[in-house]
Amino acid sequence: MPLDPSLGLKALVALGAVVLLAAVALRAIRATTGATKLAGRRRLAVQEVLPLDPKRRLVLVRCGGRDLLLLMGGAGEVPVGWLPVPDDAA
């Protein structure tokens, strides 16, 4: 049974349509979830890192306007605690 020469063209057009529909769906999801609105505003940032020894280090992380102190390395990551918010920042 001979293959239709236009079968390859039909497959490429169908693939292009599927890719186009996926791109439109992704754009709609981003628009409704607000992912593009949060892109310019970071909520999580590493403020400072202090090495204690070759394996362990203290990491100060800013999360949602508050600071969290983490002990990383060794057996695992241990949250030391949230630092109090200064009076002038509240």
Residue pLDDT, tens place only, 47-75: 999 999 989 999 999 988 889 999 998 78
User: Are the beta carbons of 36 and 30 closer than 8 angstroms?
Assistant: yes
Residue 39, SS3? Answer: coil
Rounded average pLDDT over 10-33: 90
Domain of residue 70: give its range: 44-82
The verdict on 48 and 71 lying in the same domain is yes
Q: Which H or E run includes 66? A: strand 66-72
pTM for this one? 0.50
Residue 22 has pLDDT above 60, yes or no: yes
Kindly state whether residue 65 falls inside one of the protein's structural domains: yes
Assess whether 48 and 73 both reside in one domain: yes
Task: Tell which phi-psi region holds residue 74, choosing left (phi > 0), alpha (psi between -120 and 50) or beta.
Answer: left
Considering its fold, how many domains does the chain have in total? Answer: 2
CB 63 within 8 A of CB 81: no
Residues 33, 60 within the same domain: no
pLDDT attached to residue 39: 57
